[in-house]
Structure 1
Amino acid sequence: MDTPIEPPKSLPKQVAPAAQEDKVGPKSQRRVWILGSALAAGCVVVAVVVWLLFFNRPNTASLVSATVAFADVEETVLSTGVLVPFVEINVGSRASGLVTSLTVDVGDTVKKGDIIAQIDAANQTNGLTTAQAALLDIQAQKIADQASLDQAQTAYDREARLYAADAGAKADLDLATKAVKSARALLTSVNAQIRQAEVSVRTAQVNLAYTHILAPIDGTVLAVVTKQGQTVNAAQSAPTIVTLGQLDKMTVEAEIAEADVINVTPGMVAYFTILGAPDHRYYGHIRRIQPAPTTFASDVAATTTTSTAVYYYGLFDVDNPDGRLKTTMTANVSIVLAQARHVLTIPSTALGEQAKDGTYAVTVVLKDHKTTLRQVVMGINDGAKAQVISGLAEGETVVIGDGSVLPAASSSASSSATGAPGTDRGDGL
């Protein structure tokens, strides 16, 4: 027989979902929000750490660098100059007339006293002949006047003896005395005329010598201004026949800008190159700085002034034993203001801003390829490389540019400078 099933005394109550949600309070929500925020912050921290460790290394491949190395450095003033002979003379004529003979040509070498040209000497020869004739005439007059004086002296002596013996009159003695004085005066005048005539003869001889144009110095004929057969007139100024120059020593006339001339003083080392031999340096020392600008003479003569650049001549001399240097050659001049030999240097492009204490900011590449900014004491800077006084050591690497922003040619050239910079090329002092 089946046993009857008794109904349960009580059933559990069904809780509605809405009622369960009502039991989650504000504290639970805050815990969930704090947990989410902490998780997000942790993710950010982890990401930053990963980026700093693996992705924040400097891209040294894009940096153009150079090595600190020993080299020579000098600070110079650049200018353009002209070569001229150390001694240059315009040989002129003080005689007027026709050039009957010209014995030299351009490039000829002459010695002092050599005949260069001959001027027609007919007028000068006639002048000398006339002066010599006048001298002879005065000399003959002197002989006559001397005879008159001797005669007057004899008459005076006779009258003096008669007067002393009371045999002559006082009036006759007085007349004889006056005759002697007059004869002596005439003889004195003739002697003066003779000296004057002798001067005229010497002047005529000099004028005749002027027709022979002689070389005043040893040198080379640089220019022939007057041709044979040409007539010259020396009445107002001496016409130039030829120009002579001594080419064994040359002078460089360097045009120094007014902004640089205040830094240049006599005695400074200067050197130049010529267009035909740009690799060879000729050295000298500044001899003089001209006190007036190169255009001073023309500006004084001009009635109006123009606004142009102002230059001053700096002169220095160089030997030219082989005659390689020619007159009016262009010289590319460098005047050394300061120089240092075998010192630590870096490219000038590596220098950053200058601090108040005079140091420069330089970016240095470390061994781990990271970069650091360092203050460095610098010395001479020639615009291409600069002397390092302190703050860097030989072999260290400095940044001179960013290859990613440099043009291809510039980047390639700068990258090649990573090794030790080369020294200046040229002759030693």
Structure 2
Amino acid sequence: LKSAKAVFESAAANVEQAKAAVSTANINLGYTVIKAPVSGFVGRLPKKQGSLVSNTDVAPLTLLSDAHEVHIYFSLSEEDFIGFNTNYAGKSVSDRVNHLPAVSLVLPDNTVYAQQGKIDMVDGQFDKTTGSISLRATFPNAKGLLRSGNTGRIRLGLLHADALVIPQSATVELQDKVFVFTVADSNKVKKMPIVISGKSGSNYLIKEGIKAGDRIVLSGLDRIAEGEVINPEKKDDKVAKLVTQ
């Protein structure tokens, strides 16, 4: 009886040892399956099934891009950044960022991305080489249209107090200067140089050269000359919504 009991206990110990071996094997088997902690897009797979891998390999098995949200980095000039600090409410840069309106992304084919983004980061210093400062906007990307490495343009609404706006089509560019044809009370036209401070869609924001109330020629610029007397037709006044690009 004692001999049989010893055999039983030995067999039971072997069973427990086998269970432990099975458990260890299952754990090791689990290491052969790599599960991503997030959803996203997988890059190239340089290692194929059956390839030998090691924890000393320098190259990763692949790269996973978590693209449900995409960060877009862009820059503002010193002048635009001063306007940003001046025109938006807030005691600090972080406060002003929280009050910023949503921004739009213009894709390489000149279409506008369907969803708007939010600026959530401003760099701490200017780039000495470019004279600009970097900002970051985050865009939702549920459909996966945006990928890492994409390019585009950010459309950011900037406030311009008492801005004077004229159509870009009403201007003439000559070398590095921009001109408009003003119309005097005698209906005589004069070519006037202007200084542009920015763009709003297809319009120019005027800094110098003309003032509110001045009459300018809107069309037919290729058919008139300096000093010519014309018969102008007044266009309806319009209020333009400013969106600086």
TM-score, normalised to structure 2, is 0.49
Q: Which has the larger radius of gyration?
A: 1
Which structure has greater strand proportion? 1
- Greater RCO (Cα-Cα under 8 Å, separation 6 or more): 1
Which structure has greater helix proportion? 1
TM-score, normalised to structure 1, is 0.31
